[in-house]
Amino acid sequence: MSLIERSRQAVWHPCSQMKQHETQPLLAVDRAEGVWLYDTEGKRYLDGISSWWVNLFGHGHPHIKAALKQQIDQLAHVMLAGCTHAPVVELSERLGALTGLGHAFYASDGASATEIALKMSAHYWRNLGRAEKSRFIGLQHGYHGETVGALSVTDIPLFREAYGPLVRVSATVPSPDARLAAPGVSAIEHARHCAQALQAYLEVHHAEIAALIVEPLVQCAAGIAVHDPEYLRLARTLCDRYEVHLVADEIAVGFGRTGSLFAHQQAGIRPDFICLSKGLTGGTMALSTVLTTDTVYDAFYDDRTARGFLHSHSYTGNPLACRAALATLEIFEQEDWMARNRATAARLTALCEPLATHAQVRATRQLGMLWAFDVATDDPTFARRYHAAALKQGLLLRPIGNTLYFMPPYVIDESESRSLAEGALAALEETLA
Ligand SMILES: *Cc1c(COP(=O)(O)O)cnc(C)c1O
């Protein structure tokens, strides 16, 4: 039996209707290097979405590999309750220095980071004697992960529908997504209107609200929905005024994806919590963290055990994962990646001109190392059919609904950019034919 067939039998793949794999074969990846994935037959595919947005500097980066090899010989894992180790301490110090949020709590995936931020926020208010502040606000079309708590702030019906009875759904306020602006309304005006809606909600409900959670600048899972940084500035002001935490979910947009190391920095604000994962280890190990302020930390610091944050995961602060994250930060220090990415992005944007001007493409947008194109089609199978057509072109791409997007590793060079832009257009023509 082939690896693909054995996988269909034994592995329940994520975010998939397994029956569709009767006709759409899995991609059996044998190895990867740089932007390329190699299948078991030796055919290569350009990883145009950085393996679900996690990869930054290409697969098999020598600096991260060397760090992991050294670390595995020294210490692969030790529990973090009652123990500590150099990788977790150094990583926490560095993340604190980069964000101004000096207390790092760890888990292994993004959804757990969301859970932690929500629990910490509500527990903070409880420790202050304001236990009634236990509800949350999320944005329309927001995505913060798929565990039951994270689903409570995830406004994507397809992911939530089946679990309705399990989820304590949070309030949803209008999305500043620039595409949702009324005709003639600019992105910044739309952001202001949405902030007014947030204000109206907070005015009535602030007494029971612990936190507002947002994906700064880009709601990726919503279809690379970009908003004006003005929204974040106004949200920060409103959160201060109404005593509500601001949680920045930078799981997808952190680590340079939007053109600054962290997306919220483009608005010049400081959140109360920052959730990080995905690019944190450069796409090598499962790790997430929630960073928070002295104010939040101090509210838990007490003689009474129950006032502590009694949350844990077995692999919290795993040394291998922390070492991979440190190696990733070291790569950022080796050169000015934001400047290099601006040049890389300008090159790919120019190569995308035929795609951007295609008769059936709308709302082209680009920010940092992110590109998105909405395809005018009513075909509900567009994403699946496009994915298959792209594979034929040697590209791994997975549109979100009718939004085709690129989120390539930062190391993508000129000829690889050309392969991506030209292959994506050819796949579009095949899909629409
Ligand atoms: C991917 C993602 C998550 C969830 O992370 P997982 O590791 O998949 O659980 C949460 N928030 C955002 C913005 C994401 O993109």
Please tell me if the CB atom of residue 249 comes closer than 6 angstroms to any atom of ligand 1: yes
**DSSP line for 83-136:** ---HHHHHHHHHHHHHHS--EEEEESSHHHHHHHHHHHHHHHHHHTT-TT--EE
Q: Are the beta carbons of 348 and 406 closer than 8 angstroms? A: yes
Q: CB neighbours of 290 closer than 8 A, spacing ≥ 6?
A: 104, 105, 107, 113, 116, 117, 120, 273, 274, 275, 276
Please tell me if the CB atom of residue 178 comes closer than 6 angstroms to any atom of ligand 1: no
Six-digit token pair at 411? 């190391």
Note whether 43 and 132 are same-domain residues.
no
Please tell me if the CB atom of residue 109 comes closer than 6 angstroms to any atom of ligand 1: yes
The DSSP 8-state label assigned to residue 304 in this structure reads S
Q: CB neighbours of 11 closer than 8 A, spacing ≥ 6?
A: none
Note whether 155 and 280 are same-domain residues.
yes
Please tell me if the CB atom of residue 252 comes closer than 6 angstroms to any atom of ligand 1: yes
Gap from CA of 53 to ligand 1 centroid (Å): 9
Q: In the listed set 285, 316, 334, which residue is the last one of a domain according to the structure?
A: 334
What share of the chain has pLDDT > 90, as a percent? 99
Q: In the listed set 334, 363, 382, which residue is the last one of a domain according to the structure?
A: 334
Total domains, the chain: 2
Q: Are the beta carbons of 152 and 169 closer than 8 angstroms? A: yes
Q: Are the beta carbons of 242 and 255 closer than 8 angstroms? A: no
**Closest C-alpha to ligand 1, atom 5:** 110
What pLDDT score was predicted for residue 409?
98
**Closest C-alpha to ligand 1, atom 6:** 110
Please tell me if the CB atom of residue 56 comes closer than 6 angstroms to any atom of ligand 1: no
Note whether 109 and 195 are same-domain residues.
yes
Six-digit token pair at 380? 């509900």
Q: CB neighbours of 129 closer than 8 A, spacing ≥ 6?
A: none
What pLDDT score was predicted for residue 208?
98
Determine the residue of 15, 50, 115, 143 to mutate for testing ligand 1's pocket, defined as the one with the most ligand atoms within 8 A of the Cβ atom. Answer: 143
Please tell me if the CB atom of residue 345 comes closer than 6 angstroms to any atom of ligand 1: no
What pLDDT score was predicted for residue 234?
98
Domain that holds residue 407: 3-61+336-432
Note whether 411 and 321 are same-domain residues.
no
User: For residues 112 and 365, what is the distance between their CA atoms, to the nearest angstrom?
Assistant: 30
Q: Checking phi first, is residue 239 left (phi over 0); if not, alpha (psi -120 to 50) or beta?
A: alpha
User: For residues 44 and 314, what is the distance between their CA atoms, to the nearest angstrom?
Assistant: 36
Six-digit token pair at 378? 């009513």
**Nearest ligand 1 atom to alpha carbon 111:** 9
Q: In the listed set 334, 349, 380, which residue is the last one of a domain according to the structure?
A: 334
What pLDDT score was predicted for residue 206?
98
The DSSP 8-state label assigned to residue 34 in this structure reads B
What pLDDT score was predicted for residue 317?
98
**Closest C-alpha to ligand 1, atom 11:** 144
**Nearest ligand 1 atom to alpha carbon 146:** 9
Cα separations (Å) of 10 from 23, 26, 31, 170? 17, 13, 21, 36
Q: Are the beta carbons of 75 and 319 closer than 8 angstroms? A: yes
Please tell me if the CB atom of residue 145 comes closer than 6 angstroms to any atom of ligand 1: yes
Six-digit token pair at 432? 């629409």
The one-letter amino acid at 409: P
Question: Domain containing 143 — which CATH number?
Answer: 3.40.640.10
Please tell me if the CB atom of residue 110 comes closer than 6 angstroms to any atom of ligand 1: yes
209-238 pLDDT tens trace:
999 999 999 999 999 999 999 999 999 999
Note whether 217 and 310 are same-domain residues.
yes
Gap from CA of 1 to ligand 1 centroid (Å): 34
Note whether 156 and 228 are same-domain residues.
yes
> What's the burial of 394, exposed, middle or buried (CB within 10 Å: 0-12/13-18/19+)?
middle
Gap from CA of 29 to ligand 1 centroid (Å): 23
Note whether 284 and 408 are same-domain residues.
no
User: For residues 117 and 136, what is the distance between their CA atoms, to the nearest angstrom?
Assistant: 11
Ranges of residues in the chain whose predicted pLDDT is under 70: none
**Nearest ligand 1 atom to alpha carbon 252:** 15
Q: Are the beta carbons of 194 and 231 closer than 8 angstroms? A: yes
Q: Are the beta carbons of 187 and 111 closer than 8 angstroms? A: no
The one-letter amino acid at 132: E
Please tell me if the CB atom of residue 113 comes closer than 6 angstroms to any atom of ligand 1: no
Please tell me if the CB atom of residue 219 comes closer than 6 angstroms to any atom of ligand 1: no
Classified as helix, coil or strand, 358 is coil
What pLDDT score was predicted for residue 133?
98
Please tell me if the CB atom of residue 277 comes closer than 6 angstroms to any atom of ligand 1: yes
Note whether 74 and 33 are same-domain residues.
no
Direct distance between the N- and C-terminal alpha carbons of the chain, in angstroms, rounded to an integer: 35
**Closest C-alpha to ligand 1, atom 15:** 252
Question: Domain containing 393 — which CATH number?
Answer: 3.90.1150.10
User: For residues 302 and 217, what is the distance between their CA atoms, to the nearest angstrom?
Assistant: 37
Helix (H) or strand (E) holding 138: strand 135-139
Note whether 205 and 119 are same-domain residues.
yes
The CA-CA-CA angle for residues 95, 98, 103, to 5°, reads 40
Note whether 7 and 154 are same-domain residues.
no
Mean pLDDT of the chain: 97
Please tell me if the CB atom of residue 328 comes closer than 6 angstroms to any atom of ligand 1: no
The one-letter amino acid at 207: A
Note whether 265 and 319 are same-domain residues.
yes
Work out the number of other CB atoms within 10 angstroms of the CB of residue 279.
24
Note whether 215 and 68 are same-domain residues.
yes
Please give the distance of CA 371 from its chain centroid, rounded to a whole number: 15
Gap from CA of 36 to ligand 1 centroid (Å): 23
The residue length of the chain stands at 433
Gap from CA of 144 to ligand 1 centroid (Å): 5
The one-letter amino acid at 239: C
Q: Are the beta carbons of 288 and 274 closer than 8 angstroms? A: no
